[in-house]
Structure 1
């Protein structure tokens, strides 16, 4: 194989690796955005749950029924 063919092959491989790296980077970025959105939703749900528990009271705080 001549030197020019080897260099062309290496350049081709590098181009494919650059494309694959960019694709992976885009996927990681999208996943980071999804994870952040889910984290915020989870925080909101936890806050709502705590608020509802504060309004209703936790079952452990209630006295046992009179027939006990």
Structure 2
């Protein structure tokens, strides 16, 4: 009986360690997702600014045309 209890405790300990490792990975991935989402939004804004500037430059021909 003692050997069986020790085996169960060992398995539980291994599972707890595995769960903590998985939790750490998920937490890190969530931080990465949040950081990348912010970066994508920043790039989207920069792109929109560039497009707007390009459109403004080509709106009217110069007066000598």
TM-score calculated relative to the size of structure 1:
0.79
Partner of 2:28: 30
Question: Unaligned regions of 5+ residues in structure 1, if any?
Answer: 63-68
Which of 7, 10, 19 aligns to 2:8? It is 10
- Residues in 1 aligned to 2:24 and 2:18: alpha-carbon distance in whole angstroms: 10
CA RMSD of superposed structures (Å):
1.8
- 1:1-68 maps to which residues of 2 (within 5 A)? 3-57=1-55
TM-score calculated relative to the size of structure 2:
0.83
Question: Unaligned regions of 5+ residues in structure 2, if any?
Answer: 60-65
